[in-house]
Amino acid sequence: MFKAIQIDKTDGQYAASLVELDEQALPEGDVTVEIDYSSINYKDALAITGRGPIVRQFPMVPGIDFAGKVIASDSADFAVGDRVLLTGWGVGERHWGGLAGKARVKGEWLTKIPDNADAKQVMAIGTAGFTAMLCVQALLDHGVKPENGPVLVTGAGGGVGSCAAIILATLGYQVTASTGRPQEADWMRDQLGVSEIINREELSAPGKPLQKERWAAAVDTVGSHTLSNVCASVRYDGIVAACGMAQGMDLPATVAPFILRGVTLRGIDSVMVNSAKRPAIWEKACQYLTPEVLSKLSEEYPLTDAITVAEKLLDGKIRGRAVIACKA
Ligand code: NDP
């Protein structure tokens, strides 16, 4: 038996609760993992609270990421004892996920934990940090250099935003953080290495199609008017890596920044990234988001607190990353 968060929908009533499950109940898959850590991402919070249509079938164990040790395997790629992690692939949405003591999944969804990292570090990074690394990689691939000017990160107080800010600052970029939490300004400056902080209200209302060129590049976790205003304010030939929708799914923009300033809008998806590309991104993420760095932007909670943490995250009360210890 192991503990898990389970989401049920009976007679239209949606509810998440802590339950005890038998290993027999686990879904099909060729690898079974004993989970040490998972985390609460925005998507997990929407799933657990039911505030967003994330869960596709019931009952569901949420948790879009996890890390632990292989305890049974029919996969040629994984042996008992291997240290593995998983992010995405619809786990925690369509297939039982990581907010549990155990999971059974397809081996092709797993990535080996980098040699010098451990389960806690990779889950302090989690889907959010992996996505942040994908966003920063898009900026690097575009050729953005620190001397080109400041880089904007929106939703900087959240998981993806805080990880992106700290990676960029470590790489020598001057980072501007957009946030709705001015009370976190000292933390952002001192711990994330942010140079400038702007109130997210500066970007959240409808704006002009082209605005003053302020940033060499941007990582946007917010979408909607914020993303439109960010595209309208990025310098000539700049790039915006867009991964989120915390303000909204809409994009009320014009083509002006793209056709008059050559701005690139690069979409970032972490869920279906090709397995072959993942190890290198994880290596890099672990290189920049070390345990010491992560201690400044993550907090550990027991599995029994996962539901409360999910609610707090959507209320903007979780700073950075929430790591969940799943081992009983
Ligand atoms: P968090 O909840 O940790 O962070 C989101 C942040 O967005 C908040 O902390 C807040 O930052 C800001 N925010 C919230 N509401 C609003 C609003 N109405 N207007 C403007 N800003 C707002 O979530 P994550 O960091 O885990 O995820 C961020 C986004 O990225 C989500 O939309 C998520 O779905 C998406 N995502 C996408 C992935 C992909 O593969 N494309 C993978 C992972 C996440 P502050 O308080 O600083 O203002």
Whether 136 is covered by a domain: the verdict is: yes
Structural domain containing residue 167 = 126-267
- Mean pLDDT of all residues in 227-255: 98
- Mean pLDDT of all residues in 129-154: 98
* Mean model confidence pLDDT for the chain: 97
Are residue 10 and residue 70 in the same domain, yes or no?
yes
β-pairing, 151-154 vs 175-179, is parallel
Are residue 152 and residue 225 in the same domain, yes or no?
yes
Whether 232 is covered by a domain: the verdict is: yes
Q: Is pLDDT of 241 > 70? A: yes
Whether 187 is covered by a domain: the verdict is: yes
Give distance in angstroms: CA of 227 to centre of ligand 1: 12
Q: Write down which residue in 218, 245, 267 finishes a domain.
A: 267
Band of pLDDT at residue 11, cut at 50, 70 and 90: confident
Position 56 scores a pLDDT of: 87
Q: Is pLDDT of 244 > 80? A: yes
Q: Is pLDDT of 168 > 80? A: yes
Give the predicted TM-score (pTM) of the model: 0.97
Q: Write down which residue in 228, 252, 267 finishes a domain.
A: 267
Class of residue 154 by CB neighbours under 10 A (exposed 0-12, middle 13-18, buried 19+): buried
Band of pLDDT at residue 134, cut at 50, 70 and 90: very high
| CATH number for the domain harbouring residue 241 | 3.40.50.720
Class of residue 309 by CB neighbours under 10 A (exposed 0-12, middle 13-18, buried 19+): buried
Of 163, 222, 227, 250, which is best to mutate to test ligand 1, by the most ligand atoms within 8 angstroms of its C-beta? 222
Are residue 143 and residue 254 in the same domain, yes or no?
yes
Band of pLDDT at residue 327, cut at 50, 70 and 90: confident
Are residue 133 and residue 18 in the same domain, yes or no?
no
Show the ligand 1 pocket: residues with CB < 6 angstroms: 41-43, 127-128, 131, 155-161, 179-181, 200, 204, 221-222, 226, 243-247, 268-271, 313, 316
- Mean pLDDT of all residues in 298-318: 97
Q: Taking the CA atoms of 271, 276, 282 and 287 in sequence, report the sign of the dihedral they define.
A: negative
Give distance in angstroms: CA of 238 to centre of ligand 1: 22
Whether 276 is covered by a domain: the verdict is: no
Class of residue 8 by CB neighbours under 10 A (exposed 0-12, middle 13-18, buried 19+): middle
Position 328 scores a pLDDT of: 63
Whether 291 is covered by a domain: the verdict is: no
Are residue 134 and residue 217 in the same domain, yes or no?
yes
**Total residue length of the chain:** 328
Are residue 82 and residue 141 in the same domain, yes or no?
no
In the chain, what percentage of residues exceed pLDDT 90? 98
Q: Is 307 helix (H, G, I), strand (E, B) or coil?
A: helix
Q: Count of domains in the chain?
A: 2
| CATH number for the domain harbouring residue 102 | 3.90.180.10
Whether 273 is covered by a domain: the verdict is: no
Whether 34 is covered by a domain: the verdict is: yes
For residue 123, which amino acid is it? Answer: M
